[in-house]
């Protein structure tokens, strides 16, 4: 009788720990999806804000065109993400975080070629991170809606990265 009780206890313990581990893994995956959505929302807002700033301050035509593309494309992506978030019951941030506010403040104090170069350097760096994060979500996301959003948006971000690199090379070459 004791042997059966010990076997049942060990079996129950194994089932409980296995179920707990699966639930823990599911929670971690949900947290990763939620974190992705928050970062994507923050980044999208920043792209629009900084794009609007660049349309006012940039002196290089390629930088201005890039900035306009950022405002257009990221406004569309932001609206798409808001729809996904609403459907899935997520609350997204509505204001820039301190890092993006600091970037905006730094750029606001620059003029001419210094602004153009700094803005484009920031855009290259930012889009390299974005492409990586969106690729990860597209490949490994567990929320089907967020995964589809990442898959839809990834080619746009890859295009932005190439545009940013081209514009930065132009700004560095002309020095204006």
pLDDT by residue for the chain (176 residues), tens digit each?
A: 555 544 545 555 555 555 444 444 344 447 889 999 999 999 999 999 999 999 999 999 999 999 999 999 999 999 999 999 999 888 999 999 999 999 999 999 999 999 999 999 999 999 999 999 999 999 999 999 999 999 999 999 999 999 999 999 999 998 65
CATH top-level class of 28-174: mainly alpha
Predicted model pTM: 0.82
Contacts of 134 (CB under 8 A, 6+ apart): 40, 150, 153, 154, 157
CB 57 within 8 A of CB 107: yes
Q: Where are the domains of the chain?
A: 28-174
CB 132 within 8 A of CB 158: no
Instruction: Return the number of other C-beta atoms located less than 10 Å from residue 145's C-beta.
Output: 17
The predicted structure's pLDDT at residue 27: 43
The predicted structure's pLDDT at residue 140: 94
């Amino acid at each position: 009788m004791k042997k059966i009780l010990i076997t049942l206890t060990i079996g129950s313990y194994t089932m409980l720990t296995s179920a707990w581990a699966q639930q823990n893994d599911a929670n971690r995956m949900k947290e990763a999806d939620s974190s992705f959505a928050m970062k994507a929302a923050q980044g999208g807002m920043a792209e629009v804000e900084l794009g609007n700033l660049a349309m006012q301050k940039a002196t290089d035509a390629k930088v201005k065109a890039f900035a306009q593309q950022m405002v257009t494309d990221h406004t569309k992506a932001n609206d798409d993400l808001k729809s996904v978030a609403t459907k899935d019951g997520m609350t997204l941030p509505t204001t820039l975080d301190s890092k993006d506010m600091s970037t905006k403040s730094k750029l606001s104090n620059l003029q001419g070629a210094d602004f153009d170069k700094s803005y484009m350097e920031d855009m290259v760096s930012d889009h390299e991170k974005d492409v990586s994060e969106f690729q990860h979500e597209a490949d490994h996301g567990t929320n089907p809606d967020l995964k589809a959003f990442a898959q839809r948006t990834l080619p746009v971000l890859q295009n932005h990265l190439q545009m940013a690199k081209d514009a930065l090379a132009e700004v560095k070459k002309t020095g204006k």
